[in-house]
A and B are shown apart, each in its own frame.
Chain A
Amino acid sequence: NAGVTQTPKFQVLKTGQSMTLQCAQDMNHNSMYWYRQDPGMGLRLIYYSASEGTTDKGEVPNGYNVSRLNKREFSLRLESAAPSQTSVYFCASSGQGFNNQPQHFGDGTRLSIL
C-alpha cells in the first residue's frame, strides 16, 4: 500500500518552461490537494479537488492549473515557470464526508526554477 505517490521527486526548470507534477493515491480517497511549502511560511493550499470531476482554487492558485484525471490521480501544471515558483510541492488526499478526515501527504517534489 503506497499511499500518496508523487513524481518526480526533484526537478530543475528554466524560467518559462512548463511541466506537470503527478500525484496518485491508492487509498480510495475522494478528496485530493496540492500545497506548496516555502521556508517560514508553512504549507499553502494551491488547488484542491473535493471529488472526481471537481476542482477549486485554494489560497495561492495563480500560475498553476490542475486536472483531476480520475479518482486516483490529480496533477498540477506550471504553464510558464517563474523563479517565484521555486518550492517544495506536496500532494495530499483524504476521505470525504461531513466528518473531517485526516489528510495524508506524499513525499513531495522539490522544484527549482532558474
Chain B
Amino acid sequence: GENVEQHPSTLSVQEGDSAVIKCTYSDSASNYFPWYKQELGKRPQLIIDIRSNVGEKKDQRIAVTLNKTAKHFSLHITETQPEDSAVYFCAATENTGTASKLTFGTGTRLQVTL
C-alpha cells in the first residue's frame, strides 16, 4: 500500500517569512495530492490540491509543487500570518475508479510567531 512521509513535524517561523513542508510517497500509481489544514479541535479542511499531470499549482499565498520522478511534493506558504498557525497534513491517493483512498502524512505543526 501507499506510504506517505512528512517533514518536519514542527515548524516555527516569524510572521512574514515563508514556510515549506515536504512529503514523499511510495506508490508511483498515486495521482492526486491534497493538502489539509487543521486548527486545534477542528475538522481538516482542504487548502490546495494537485494532480499528477501538473507540476505546480498556486493559490494566493499557497503553492504546491510535485516531482513525480522523485515521488515528492511540497507545500509553500509565503508571507505567513498568525492565522496560518495550525497542523498541516499532506496526503496521496490512487484513484481505483470507484473511490479515492487517501493515505495521510503524520502532520506538521506550524507556528507563526509575531
Q: Does A61 contact B (CB under 8 A)?
A: no
The number of chain A residues touching the other chain, given as a range, is 20 to 34
Give Cα distance in the complex from A106 to B43, angstroms. Answer: 6
Residue among A48, A105, A107 making CB contact with B99, cutoff 8 Å: A48
> In terms of DSSP, what is the predominant structure of the interface of chain B?
strand
Contact B104–A43 (Cβ < 8 Å): yes
The number of chain B residues touching the other chain, given as a range, is 20 to 34
Given contact pairs A40-B106, A42-B106, A43-B89, A103 touches B42 in the complex (Cβ within 8 A):
no
CB within 8 Å of A: which B30-51 residues = 31-32, 34, 36, 42-46, 49, 51
Contact A58–B89 (Cβ < 8 Å): no
CB within 8 Å of A: which B55-114 residues = 89, 93, 95-107
Binding site for B on A (CB under 8 A): 31, 33, 40-45, 48-51, 54, 56, 58-59, 90, 94, 96, 98-108
